[in-house]
Structure 1
Amino acid sequence: MRILGCLFFVAVCFKAAAQSPQVPHKMQFADLTLTIRDDARREIQKDVDALTASPKHFNIKVERAKTYFPLIEKVFREEGLPDDFKFLVLQESALIADAVSVSNAVGFWQFKDFTAMEMGLRVDKEIDERLNIVSSSRAAARYIKKNNTHFNNWIYALQAYQMGAGGVMRSVKDSKSGAQHMEINSHTYWYVKKYLAHKVAFEDAVKGVGQIQVITYENKNQKTLTDLAKEVTVDEASLKSYNKWAKSGLIPDDRKYSVLIPVNGEQPPNVPQEVLASNRVPSTDAKTGDTKPSASAAKKLEKKKVNGILIVHAEEGDNPTKIANRAGVDLSLFLKWNDISISDRTPSGQHYLLGKKRNRAEVAYHRVSAGETLWSISQQYGVQVKRLRKFNKISGDADLKPGMTLWLNANKPKNAEKTVAPTNVLEINKNETFAWTTDAPAEPVVNTQQQAKAAALDTVSTKEVEKPTAVTVPSDSAKVETVSPVVSNTPIPEAADSTKNLQAPVENISKPDSTAAPLIEVVVPEKKTEHVVQPKETLYGIAKQHNVGVMDLVKWNNLNLQEGIKPGQVLKLSDPQPVANDVSTPVTKAISVEHEVKATDTLYSIARKYNVTIQELMEWNNKKNFTLTVGEKLTVKPK
């Protein structure tokens, strides 16, 4: 009985080990999230089971993939094609170099001759680059990307690989251009479901290093494979088996060809060190599953981390493909780590993560600023967007409000309002129209009654007012003016109407009679003179925050509206050289003035200089837009 029990246990274990990978309800493909319905799951699962039914044949394909995939991945990174498309080559040719289909499609990626030549491959009696894994993979990447320009949808680009872009356009009724989510069901084209079966079957199996590795070597001169085998000290037969594209055994010098050289772990080929270095692929961290940057890329990267994750900063002219290449990581993983698509803009200075975002941040909470999004906060702290939504019980960016406390490593506590002191937030009345300019402060109106009352007050010594009494200003008061320090022998005006209801005690002030008004000191925070631009901030938001005009900011900081503002830029919040009000004798007869435009001039600054409106300037000079040319003469008429 014990023997039977042991045999039964071994049989169960063997069956479990041999079980095919299961098709999930949801899976990622390129930058798409696919929801797989049950009817499609059953179809795809049948194909997965068929692919894995024979362990012997399955493992042969796995070993081929481990040999060739590093080369394909490198090409796809350079071309900006999502890494997931590498599984398509298993579907097309099972990675057999000289595979030929019934329709006479040839090679790794099954190109017909005219399509191959259209994509830049050489196909003739001597050379057939369809049999070259590097050249044909580059052609396949460009062909798929070309198809995607019609659809902006990688599923349709995949489908077009088999039936052509025109066929997809005729068969697809509902356009899903730019979609991030798609449903796979029984009506989905068979070729797409067949591909998904290959991805499910091989995705986990092809991880790791293969038994046979190859490196690419670009020829500089014409030579035979026989001569090359001697030069690099490898077996000639083995070299020829990996380079069937050179039909005559001759490598011509009409262009650069990637020659594959098999590598024996104990005896590396006799090639320059830079060739070996250029063939090294990124390794994977066993604990986190993150792809480590290649050695050459790691030297160039900053040693900065966010939440324990290495980061890289975008440079001028960058895109996701360039950043991934510079970091030496897989493009599809890079897009996934940063929750972006291949077509997203990458602003200069923005940092991007080189590993998976964590479930929790290193700090407890973040105070939301105007213009921030869940994505920008997620990038800043290296924490998953879905965790931010869960911690704070919110659904998206619409729930974010300036000044809101966003919890980053735990659920929002019930006493959150008491835990974090609230910050005053400027609320904007949406019914108001935004003033592009701000009115100059009006001259104060002197109240003779208040002057008389103020004159009745005793002189207050400077020492007595060195410690002003703080008064809390009600939130509904429209304006709070700064009270100048009280100087001896200076009349003290009565408090403004908006603060008459404040009953603050004032010490050491003698009152000669009951009619004298109390002295009130209002402590007002010092007005900022500069503002440091934060990510996602706009001129409009900054102007509203500091109660200044947008065009004032433009003038004070000599800004170019076409270039905009950048994070970290320091903006002045006041005119560094205020224009003094000239008091001159009135002119008996007003005449028109001709103003010559200077490099720093704007319509706003000119209008302000001559105390006219921008609209009047445009009417007087028949201008249709705000553009000014240096040296242009503008007529300014008297008012």
Structure 2
Amino acid sequence: MNLRVLLASIVFISGSAVSAQADSLKTDTLVVDNVVFAGVTPPDSTELSFSWEEEWIEWCEQSSCVSSDTGLWNVVGEPSLALDTVVMKERLAILDRSSELDLRWNPVAHSKIALYVKRRKQGLGTMIGRAPQYFPLFEEILDREGLPLELKYLTVVESGLNPEARSPAGARGLWQFMYYTAKAEGLRIDSYIDERKDPVRATEAACQHLNRLYKRYGDWYLALAAYNSGSGNVNKAIRRSGKKNYWEVRPFLPKETRNYVPNFLAVVYLMEYHAEYGITPKKVLPGYLGIDTVMVEGPLRFDQMAAMMDLTESEIAAYNPVFRKKIVPGPGEVWPINLPARHVPDFIANVDSMRKYLPELTPEIKYEPEPVYYKVKSGDVLGTIAQRYGVSVKHLKEWNGLKGTTIRVGQRLIIHGDPSKL
């Protein structure tokens, strides 16, 4: 079956990413099932005390991948047995028995679960409602690649299941790939295409990347930590700790990464047991009965398509986030276009007429070179760098927000230069 057809129920809408950057646990050491948890104390079975850093909320509100709409939560009444350790242990044990991942109870994950349930600030209800649109696709690809199916929950932590999600650091898409990582995994990113936003291609690339990290560390949670912060930070933490178990390495990881795996475990748990905590799925916006895929040769603009279909340009763009400028590139390239199934016959019948609509505006796509990044070395000046890459000092200053010509060793400059010299 064509994987793209599995997108039949997808309605691309923006939402909230499930993420937190608070680490509220006290600095003791706890051993649970022969695993050492450094820097934690066990929670009380009925009440947890934790501090809450508001910085992440501010970050979320400023980030386009997160909505501050409190209506995203659908919590009915007070959570039942929300912080009962015994019940939580039993439920996690059930999940653990059917998973390759270690999903046993631990106090760090318990604290995160309590945080999510008590604060009700995150859109977990929306994520649960959105999951059926994406999880069947993720599960098929994860199963094909031989990876734990629970890794699908990473997309909740990373992007809130929003293919348009973007972070201030530049990560994009459901799996939040950074530019260079995405390119290394074979994703196409240029002026017109960003496959980080393609649910199929991005999931395939994420599987490749995660599999490579697991082979490197032999520990799934160290692999997830490396996915979040990069192998360099994990390698450094391993050297400093002298250990190779995630929970023992964790205190030596960057702060945001120390919270990454506990957030993941909390999401796994609450996505499975949300009803027991009074969290109900929030229905996604009404969509079409299904989405189908049509192959089309470019160039073709979305406004040309919309002019002869009962769809707006924005709706077409929502179904096809991979196209950065609402243009199907060409000529000589064939691309899959996602459309509501009921519109496919009209599209096929009218595609030739679409090309003739406002033909003077139909672009002959000329691919712009990707920018390069140059790390300033000792002795470098803007003039020599500009000459080397066939650009002007004025442009170098504009691209990098420089008021003067002073640069420092180690500074990274972005350069949009002559492609023959890049």
Structure-2-length-normalised TM-score: 0.49
| Structure 1 or 2: more helix by fraction | 2
Relative CO higher for 1 or 2, CA cutoff 8 Å, sep ≥ 6? 2
